[in-house]
Structures are given as C-alpha cells and as structure tokens.
Chains A and B, each alone.
Chain A
Amino acid sequence: MIDALAAEWLKLRTLRSTSLVLGVVGVVVGLMALLAWYAAHLWDGLPPGQRDRLEVSSLPELTNWLASLCLAVLGVLAFSGEYGTGMIRTTFTVLPSRGRVLAAKAGVVAVAAFCAGLAAVLATYAVGRLIIGDRLIRGQSTEALSRQLPLFLAMSLSIAMFALLGLCLAAITRSAVAAVAVLMAVWYVVPIIVNNIPAPWNERIGSILPGALAGQLAGTGNPQSVGGALLSPPAALAVMVAWVAVPYAAAAVLLARRDA
C-alpha cells in the first residue's frame, strides 16, 4: 500500500492539471484580497453612520466554497484523465489490485485537497485581516485565528470531502464531463432548488447537503449560506463521511467488476 501511495503521489504531482487547479485556487485567494481591498475602500468612503449597512460575505467562506469546486475537479481529473487516455490500463498493469489503486488515489487526493484547502482558507483569512485591519465590516469576523481555526479545519475537511466525491464520481462514470456535471449539481444547483422548497424540508434537506456541513461541523451554523444548520457537529461529521463512503463503495465495486 505504501508503494501504491507513493506511486499515486508521484502521478498526482506530475499531472499537469494538478498545478493548473492549484493555480486557480491561488487566483481565488487573489480575488478575495481584491474583494477585501474593495470593501475596505467602500467602507472608508462611507460616512460613519452608514458604515454598518455595508455587508460583505465572509471571505474564508467564499474561498471554501470556490476551493471545494476546484479541488473536486482535481479529484475528478486524478481518475478521468487516465480513462480519457487509456492510461488506466497501464495503471492496472503496474498495480493490479484495483481496490489498492482506488485507496491510494483517495489517500493522496484527500491529503492534497485538505492541505491546499487549509492553505487557501488561511491565506484568505490572513490577507483579509491585513487589508481590512480594524474596520468593522459586517460579515467579516474580527475574531482571533485561534477562535476561527476549528471552522477553518472543518472547511478543509469539507474541501477534502468534495475532492473525494469528485474522484469517486470519475471512477464511477469514467468521464470527466459526467463527473463534473454531477458535481456542479451537488455544489450549486441542488442547494438552490432545496432552498426554494417549502419549510421545514428546505432546512432539513439543506442541512445534509455537502456544502452546508463545514459550518455545522464547527458548530458555527451557516449564517450566510442557503444550507440549513440542524445537525450537531458529530452528526455533521457522520454525514460528511457518508458523502464519501457511499460513492467510494460504488466506485470500488464497479472498478472490481468492470474490464479496464
């Protein structure tokens, strides 16, 4: 298993799409810095009495939201790229145990996504604090990093969950297009639809959507999100695990059964 992990790590590192996706995550952080600068500029221009009317979405949360999609795409490409080129047959000749290949890919993608996600969220927090400084802009937390760290770690876990979901969807569908389409639905389309169904089902279903889990896991709720917040942290963690375990099991069964 160590050999398979090391091999998959080498593969992920030497894949062109990996650096591309990580570059996009960097661009997202840059955009957040730009947004922070713009918000600070607006805030400075407002008369003091009107400043509390300016509200800007939490920047780390925006980064979390966008990085989830980016790293889910990284997960997709870690598998679909091999199906597209026929390289999957080379992989299974080099590592004949398909369960081991899936586990190794999942391991390296999860670690890479967690680290990249954490780095992006922390960087966003840091540049946000640096630019906004002591301005009290609604939506921006002024709490110290130590108080926010649980939320940032929960966000990174959520990003890793999205990446694994992407990986498993690619293994199941063997197609980047199909896998990304399903991801887009789960990430963007379904939350909007769920938000518009009658109560109490909007909140009930909204609470178990993958994008709503980080806030519930950290116990901060989802004040700015369309997702619900009915789950306790342990329940949120369990739902998070389920979002990975179910597609993972399906991918493992299909990989073992299908001809490569």
Chain B
Amino acid sequence: MIEVRELTKRFGRTVAVDGLTFHVKPGLVTGFLGPNGAGKSTTMRIILGLDRPASGEALVGGRRYDRLRHPMREVGALLDAGAVQGGRTPLGHLSWMARANRIGGDRVVSVIEQVGLAGVARKRIGGFSLGMRQRLGIAAALLGDPGVLLLDEPVNGLDPDGVRWIRELLRGLAAEGRTVLLSSHLMSEMELTADHLVIIGRGRLIADTPMRELTAVRDVFVRSSRAGDLAAALSAAGGTVTAENGGGLSVRGLDPAEIGDLAARHAIPLHEVTPRGASLEETYMRLTAELTGGGADR
C-alpha cells in the first residue's frame, strides 16, 4: 500500500507536483502515466525519501520511507537502471545492498538467476547493455522480497522477450498480493500489464481509475452489403448509427448479439461485426490533450 497525500514539490519557481493525492492498492499492478515533466519521477523519488516535498506526505505501508529499518525488505525500487558504477560486478553490486539490509547472500544468487544474469554475475557492469542493466535493477528491486515495488520505466531497452518477462513477473507479483507501481510511456504495454491507472499531468491528478473503465467497449463496427437497410433497422431498434468514412457503420446502444439477431430477422447479410473499445493510447491522449496542446512549455 502506497499513500500519497496532498503532495507538493517545487523546484525553484516550477511546481513539479501540485497537491497530488492517490493510493496504490495491493494485489494490483498500478500504471503511473503522464506526459514528460508531469511529475512521475519526482513523485517516485519523494515516495523513496530522495526528494523532500514542500508539503504533504508519501507513506509506504503507513510509514515514511526514511523511517523504515530495512527498506529493501519492504520496498523494491528501480528508478534509473543507469545509476550503477560500471566497475562493479552484479554480484558486488547486489552484495553491498544485501549487507546493508541484512539480506542473506543466497538471496543475491537467487535474484541474479531469476533475472537471467547468472552467466555474467562476475562480469563488470560497465560492459552491459541497457537491457541487462534493467535486469540488474529489477534484481535489486526484488532482492529483499518486498511487498511493495516501484518501477520507473523498467521496460526501456528490453527486447520483446524481456518486455514479456517483466509483464508476467509483475502480474505474478501482484497476484501474490504485492503492491506494484509501474511507470511507462509504452501505452500498449501498459494496457497489457496494468489493472489500475493513475494518470497525472503538470503535477496534478487527471485520472485514478481501473483499466477496464478507460478501455470499455465504446461502439460496434458493422459492415454489410445493404448498409442503408441495416442502418434503418438498427435505428428503429434504438441504436445510434453513424456512417463511417471508409464504409461501414458505427453503432452505439446495441451489443453485437442484438445487431446480429436484428440483421438475421431482416435477412440482411453481415460482413463484419466488431466491438470496439477505446485503446488506452486514445483515452490517454484525450485525457492529456489539453495539457500537451499548449505546446512544449517545459
């Protein structure tokens, strides 16, 4: 459980986070979205006690992060996979973290295996690709077997296998009852991974909603060789019918079964019946349009 309450953070005269309040619940993957400069990373840094808020607070499991005795055992974080010293090996990098939080050395070996770095555990990090660094960062986040995970853009630089691996990993961790907060700019990936979304813009909350509400069925797309007759029949049955530019009809107010039955009753052939939901990308663009429409001001 992560609680962010009335959080405000300024950098000079710029307000990065502006009275932000939201909760991240256990058992779900919560996606954290927003345009560049929306305050996502700042919020995550405040949750982790790295930045001091001007006002408000961020609590993890009811406590401030910097009050946790062994924070890695309660919160696993990946902020910036590049923030490692290249001279160390994965084994060395994870060992000092484990030592600092009284985590056993066997756990270091097991997370290295879990993220698929066993073959390079004794190689210097300096020669790693971004994808390998992401895996190392995820190993660090998992090291203390924490109940809360915070990951900032973890799929950056990963190959399709890696992206899929993270998705399944995070969904599995949430299914075990853990709290997972995940930021990403990849909408299609977020749509597959997250159960819940927190969208912010200019430091303020725009939406805090289950994924299925954002991507709910919007209309049904229908094609027929007798589109005119079908449109009349559907309208008579209470549907709202709009002809689309490329041919075909957009029908609202009737579900695919009702449309099919109606067409059969009137002996109208159907060539296509497709229920359409808004993609997360479309919804996100609509929600953040007024923020980004003003041009790049940051």
Contacts and interface: CB of A to CB of B under 8 A. Distances in A.
Interface of A: 3-4, 6-8, 10-11, 14-17, 81-82, 85-87, 89-90, 92-97, 259-260
B88 A93 contact: no
A94 B45 contact: no
A259 B99 contact: no
Contacts of B72: 93-94
A90 B96 CA distance: 11
B140 A259 contact: no
A140 B45 CA distance: 58
Contacts of B236: none
Given A15-B85, A16-B87, A90-B84, A96 B65 contact: yes
Contacts of B83: 85-87, 89-90
A91 to B, nearest CB: 9
Given A3-B99, A3-B101, A14-B96, A92 B49 contact: yes
Interface of B: 45, 48-52, 65-68, 71-72, 77, 79-80, 82-89, 92-93, 95-97, 99-102, 140
Given A10-B92, A90-B84, A96-B71, A260 B66 contact: no
A86 B80 CA distance: 8
Contacts of A81: 85
B97 A94 contact: yes
Nearest to B52: A259
Nearest to B84: A87
B96 A7 contact: yes
Given A15-B88, A96-B68, A85 B99 contact: no
26 contacts: A3-B100, A6-B99, A7-B96, A8-B96, A10-B95, A14-B92, A14-B95, A16-B85, A82-B85, A85-B85, A85-B86, A87-B83, A89-B50, A89-B79, A89-B83, A90-B84, A90-B97, A92-B50, A93-B49, A93-B77, A94-B71, A94-B96, A94-B101, A95-B100, A96-B71, A260-B50
